[in-house]
Structure 1
Amino acid sequence: MPKLDRSEFKYNAKVFEKNCLWCGTLYFASRSTAKYCSSTCRGYANQAKHSEEAIPYDETDKMISALLSENAYLKGQLNRYILENEELKRQLGEQYKQRNES
């Protein structure tokens, strides 16, 4: 799964912004020599190299793949924010009870 956001790495990690040679997706890599956004693209490129016809992803497949990746990332971010919000609500509720008891 390509990493579409810089925040998935440690704050002091060396990160390289790359374009996939197969599908053209913009992604972040931890290696300067990375060429492909995922093992899927690497596999397709390898198959194309060994076959007579090099046929890349259909544009629709590229868009669907990129959207699914972004959707998964955003779903994870949303779940994280929901958990943080619930924790803050719990903490505020405890503080409110302590103030009312004293």
Structure 2
Amino acid sequence: MPTLDRSKFKYNAKVFEKTCLYCDTVYFANRSTAKYCSSTCKGYANQAKNLNEAAPWNEEDRTIDALLSQVAYLKGQLQHYVNENDELKRIIEQIKKP
């Protein structure tokens, strides 16, 4: 599972804030070259690349893994929108302050 909290690492550890290339989840990695938040996303991204599909699952075949992958993708999208919302709030606060 992706490490979503910086406090899970030692206080002096080098930690990199990354965004998963598959599900857009913001996570913390201990390697600068990390691309995916989990092995699940890595596997699904590889499948999608090999099959030239946007999503590696069929709508009729709803396995637990496919549903978990969809949940991870939606969490990433939600995190992206929360970050955008926070940024917009900061911009509005700056505009309101004369």
TM-score under structure 1 length normalisation: 0.56
Q: Distance in 2 between matches of 1:64 and 1:16?
A: 20
**Structure 2 equivalent of residue 2 of structure 1:** 2
CA displacement, residues 45-88 of structure 1 (integer Å, 9 cap, x when unaligned): 01011113232689x63236899xxxxxxxxxxxxxxxxxxxxx
> TM-score if structure 2 supplies the norm length?
0.58
Once residues 30 and 46 of structure 1 are traced to their aligned partners in structure 2, the CA distance between those partners, rounded to angstroms, is 22
Taking the aligned partners of 1:19 and 1:65, their CA distance within structure 2 comes to 9
For residues 66 and 52 of structure 1, do their structure 2 counterparts lie closer, same or farther at Cα, with a shift above 3 Å needed?
Answer: closer
Greater relative contact order (Cα 8 A, min sep 6): structure 1 or 2? 2
Q: Take 1:48 and 1:66, find their aligned partners in 2: how far apart are those partners?
A: 18
Q: Which moved more, 1:32-41 or 1:46-55?
A: 46-55
- Which structure is higher in helix share? 1
Equivalences for 1:57-72 in 2 at 5 Å?
61=71, 62-63=73-74
CA RMSD of aligned residues (A): 3.0
Counterpart residue number, 1:48:
48
Q: Classify 1:64/1:33 alpha carbon distance in 2 versus 1 (closer, same or farther; 3 Å).
A: closer
Give the fraction of aligned pairs with identical amino acids, expressed as a percent: 68
Q: Is 1:20 aligned to residue 20 of structure 2?
A: yes
| Whole-angstrom distance in 1 between the partners of 2:76 and 2:19 | 15
Q: Which runs of 5+ in 1 are unaligned?
A: 68-102
**Distance 1:12-1:28 versus aligned 2 partners, 3 A rule:** same
Post-superposition, which runs of at least 4 consecutive aligned residues in structure 1 deviate over 6 A? none
Give aligned pairs, total.
67
